[in-house]
Each structure stands twice: as structure tokens, then as C-alpha cells.
Amino acid sequence: MNQSLCWTCESSGPALLPVRYTVVPDDVSETLPAWAETPEPAAPGYHYALRALRQGFLYVYYASAGLDEPESWDAWSVSEDGALWQQFCAPFGVSPQKTSDCRAPTHQSANMEFIVLQDMALYTETWLAFTPSAWSQETIKYYHNNREARERRMQCVKPWQWRGVPEGVGIAQATIENLNGVIDYGLGDNDSGKYVLSCNRKVSRISRTLEEAPYYEVYHGALRPKSTLYPWSRKRAGCADITVRAMQKRGLAKDGTPVSPVLIALHDPIGIAHELAGWGDDIAGAHKTFLDELSIEFMTDSSLNGAENQLRQMHTTHFKKPDKEKDAILAASTGLSIQEWEKRREDSIRHAIESDKKTFAHDWKKYTAELNLAKRQAFNQCYADFCADVAKELEQLAQFRVSWLKQSGFITCCQDFHTTRLEDNLNYREAVDYAIASLNVTETGCAYLDALIDEYSALSPENIVWRSLLLNNPEVMKEMDGFLQKMQLNKGNEKPADISVFMKTVTTLSGKLVEAYDKANEALEKPPKSDSTFARAMLHSDRRLVTLGDRFFNFTRLGKVLNSTNEMLSKSLFSVISGVSFGRAVKLSVSQLQEGDLFRRQVLKQLKESGAKA
């Protein structure tokens, strides 16, 4: 006797399979099908394709279904392998899903690759949106009551599109051919030559050494993207036919009439920005790999440089600083004019330098005779060329990433987490902080970050730097507006801060900002949950402080004065958000203002004294 399927696999209704837009390097052969939209922006060396959804949540809104949210919304939790698990307490009580938790012996993974909607989808507009983190009640109500906002954030399936879906608008019929256009389904075509981005890729060699010239060689494509942040839905590989049959079987109207299954491509700008950031990390990792692979060569070259410098110092004649009074006496005693004495001194110094060079060259020659100078030169040239290639690739990738960060779609998705809730504060940080990670190592990234910092305002949702620092919390941003205005007024002012003005301004930090960060830091101090591998990695490795700290405290922005008003306010702000108590942060700043000049004078005096003794 056949066992019945679990309830999830038995339910029927309009069947819809959501996939997402993703970015891939040109080495990946899969491209967007004709029916999909083409995301912007474009960049040389990269193109867009379709993948299964990554871990997160899928929200569905049925227009005209009812006035209350529970009547109008459905939600699914997406696990790391792209499986869709309906949340029956939706829309306000959803939970993240990492892996399958169905224990039914009749469970069929193909039934979790798509969703079955309520029958009302056949006669009312159905709106869908993917999000990496759960929406709050405030966010759901916002999209529920605001059609204009819903049109910006969500994608619509109209009733007539279930009756023969036209291709070319991001929606298509779920056929075997169309599903095979999604990378996850095409992974099973047994094409051993296909280029696949691996998840959790093991480090492999990127260079080799040769017995003859050119002696060192970096493998072709060593700096091209080779990995992805998000796991593949391996169970779908080569199984498009099974999925289509499952959709056809369950794709029924309430009266049992077959409904054509639908395939829809959803936008995921946060995922694309994070993927680009991950490839930037891969390039930085390739540089580290190169250093590790040739560690003996680097150590040897460093030791040779040290020995060369030491030998050069041994053969360097040191001259005392000229003393005009003594020179005048000595010149008079020898019957020379001051000009003649100075010329004799210059000639003596020049001859001494030439003699030092000859002596050094003679002694160093016996060492260089033992070296393969051509090989050493080839090593240094190979490393210089590799560093130039790293810088070039990082710059191009940063330009692409910054273009995405400026896209309205990215900003809109981040604004899903614009509430006072701790969870939304952390979700916004997770979305933004990795999206901007390490942009500070590129010219394009520095210019972008500096421009946002110099606005000294969190009023615009596009200023993700200040909004991230203020947790995108509306109450915190409102209270901190005066603080930022004060920084705006002092932009470019390199004079030492006035203590009374500093104290009057810095007290703003002691309010809602401290309250919000106390909660955020307390949450991050707890052992990370195992719901999401990505969230666990991102929130508990603070890339933001490294990226933004470099720009906030860079002398090219603030000048060489270490105690200007904006320098001191920035230090206090970063201290507070890092967990330093407000009182302690202010005390440190005031101490620097009160004692900084005295400390610097003492250091300069000691340096002068040590120089005189030498």
C-alpha cells in the first residue's frame, strides 16, 4: 500500500517556482534567458544569470484579499539549499530555516522547490518579494497599505498570466527548457568542462616556479572569481523534468482545473552586492596565497635586503651638521674665504660618498657573485606585476559594486529594516556592512565612502554609511541630526577643538544611540545562532570598523591635526558604538584635548635630545 505524502506535498493550487537574479563572471557559460529582465548596471567581465533562491524569506501579498494582514499574506522560509518551507504562522511569526526538518518517509525534495499559492491568485494581483531577513510587523503593514511602495519593492503576477504566460517580463511558463536555464538545474548535464563557482572552495595554488626563465609564473585566471557565498541547490541538478511534473501535478485550481505552472525571477540586489564583495575578498585572498606559496623567496629577499642595508651602513661616512661660527674660524685660520671653505667641505663630502660607494660595491660583489641575480630580479618583477594586477581587478570590481550600492533597488531592499526594533537594526547592519566591506582599499571605494561621510547626514536612505552607524533606527537618527549638523559645520576645520563646544555637542551620544548600541552589542556578545551560516560569519566579524575607520581617521580627510573638532567627535562616536561606555569615551577625548599639547611637546623634546646625543 502506498504511503500518502506529507501535507506540504499534497497541497494544491497555482504552482509558482521563484528563482533569483545573480551576477557571474564571464567564465560561467549560463546567461539570462530571453524572458528574463536584464539587471543594471553592466560591467566588463561579468554578466547576469539565474539561480535558486538563497537563504532568506519569500513574502506573498494577495491584493484585495482582505483588510487584515493575516488574510492577505503568505510567507515561506528559504533554507540554505533553496528549499521553500511555508510558514503557517505568517506573516508575523516566521522563523529562519537552515536545512530540511521534514522527517516524513514520503518527503520529496522536488515539492520544496516551488510554492503553491492560494486559489485567489487566479483572480487578484499577487505580489512577491525575496528578503534575506524576516520582515517586521511595521514593514509588512507598510507594504500592505502603500501600493506605491509595494510597486517599488515587490514583483507582481497578474491573474491573466496564469493562462499562458507571456515571456519577456521576468515571468515564464515552468517548462523543462526554461528550468534548465537556471544554473542549479543545469549543473547536472554532465558537462565536465563547465565552469562552476564553488561554495566553501578549498585554497589551491595560483603560481609555480620554473628552473629556467621566467622562473616564476602566476596561473592564468588566478584573480578571476572562483567561488560563491551561497550554496548550490544540488538536488535540482539535472532534475528539471521531475520538478515540472511535480508542479503540474499540484498546480490545480480549487475546482480541480489544471493551472499552468509559472517560473518567476526575483530581484536580489543585496545578494548581488554581497557576492561582489565576496569576490573582492577572494582577490585579497589570492594575494595572501601568493605570499604563502613563495614565503621562502620573500624571506630570502628580505634577508638579502637587510644584509645589503647593514653593509651599506657600515661603509657610510657620517658628517656633522655645519656650524657657521666654527667654519668661519677654521676658514680664517687657513687663509680661505667662507665660500672657499664651504667648497672644500662639499668636495670632501662628495669624495667620501664616492669612496663609500666603491667600498660597498667591492664588498657586496662577493655576495652577489653567489646569487642568481636574474632569478631574483624575475621574482621581484613577478610580484610587482601581480600586485598591479590585484589592484586593477579590485578597482574594476569596486566600480561595479559601487554602481550596485547606488541602485534604488539596493536602497529600497535595505529600507525593509527601517524600524526601532533590535532585529531590524542588526539586519540592516548585516545587509550594508558586508556590502561596503574593504571598499577603502580602492580609489573608487574611497571616493564613494568619503562622499557619504562628508555629507554628515542620515536623512537620505542613500547614505548607507551614516545610516549603518546609526543602525537605520529612526529615533536614533532623529536625535543625532544635531550632532551631524555640528560636524558638517566643522568640516575642513583643522583647529584644535574647544572643550566647552565639544562637551556640548558630544552629550548627544549619551541618549538613544547608547541605548540602541547597548542592546546591539549585548546581542552580538551572545553565542551566534546556527540559523544562518552567512549571518553568523558577517555580524560576528566587524568589517565595518575596519572599512569606515580607515576613512574617518585618514589624514587626507581630516588633515594632520589630531585633535580637531570632527576628529574628536568621530573618536567619541566610534568608541561608543564599539562598546566603550559614554563616560569613558568622553574622558579619553577630554584628556587628549587637555594634555595632548603637553604630551606632544614632551615627545618632541625627547626626540631632539636623542638626536643631539647621536
The model's pLDDT over 186-242, given as tens digits with 9 standing for 90+, comes to: 886 555 567 888 888 788 899 999 999 999 999 999 999 989 999 898 889 889 999
When divided into structural domains, the chain yields a total of: 3
- Residue 1: per-residue pLDDT: 41
pLDDT in the model for residue 90: 74
Question: For the residues 403-411, what does the mean pLDDT come to?
Answer: 98
74 DSSP β-pair partners: 60
Mean pLDDT of 519-536: 75
Split at pLDDT 50, 70, 90, the class of 341 is: low
Q: What grid cell was written down for 82?
A: 533553496
- Point out the domain boundary residue: 371, 394, 429: 371
Report helix, strand or coil for 384.
Answer: helix
Instruction: Give the pLDDT confidence of 287-312 residue by residue, as tens digits.
Output: 999 999 999 999 999 999 998 888 88
21 assigned to some structural domain: yes
Confidence (pLDDT) at 598: 64
Same-domain check for residues 429 and 577: yes
User: What stretches of 24-111 show up as alpha helix (H) in DSSP?
Assistant: 69-72
3 state DSSP class of 95? coil
Find the mean pLDDT for residues 338-366: 77
What 35-38 contacts at long range (C-beta under 8 Å, 24+ apart), as own/partner pairs, is: 35/167, 35/168, 35/169, 35/170, 35/171, 35/172, 35/178, 36/170, 36/172, 36/265, 37/169, 37/170, 37/265
- The cell 562628508 sits on which residue? 454
98 pLDDT higher than 80: no
Instruction: Kindly provide the b/e burial profile for residues 561-580, where b requires at least 16 CB atoms within 10 angstroms of the residue's own CB.
Output: ebbbbbbbbbbbbbbbbeeb
Specify the range with the lowest mean pLDDT, choosing from 264-268, 364-368, 410-414.
Answer: 364-368
Q: Are 84 and 58 within 8 A, CB to CB?
A: yes
Residue 491 lies in a domain: yes
Question: Do residue 607 and residue 496 come from a single domain?
Answer: yes
Instruction: Say if residue 29 is in the same domain as residue 164.
Output: yes
Residue 99 lies inside a defined structural domain of this protein: yes
State residue 338's pLDDT score. Answer: 73
Residue 89 lies in a domain: yes
**Structural Rg of the chain based on CA atoms:** 32
Per-residue confidence (pLDDT) for residue 593, from 0 to 100: 78
pLDDT at 538 over 90: no
Average pLDDT of the chain, as a whole number: 87
What domain range includes position 512?
A: 418-613
Report the alpha-carbon distance of residue 587 to residue 558 in Å, rounded. Answer: 22
Structural domain includes residue 142: yes
SS3 54: coil
Mean pLDDT value across residues 63-84: 86
Rounded mean pLDDT, 266-288? 96
- What pLDDT is recorded for position 289? 95
Cell output for 47: 554578466
pTM of the model: 0.89
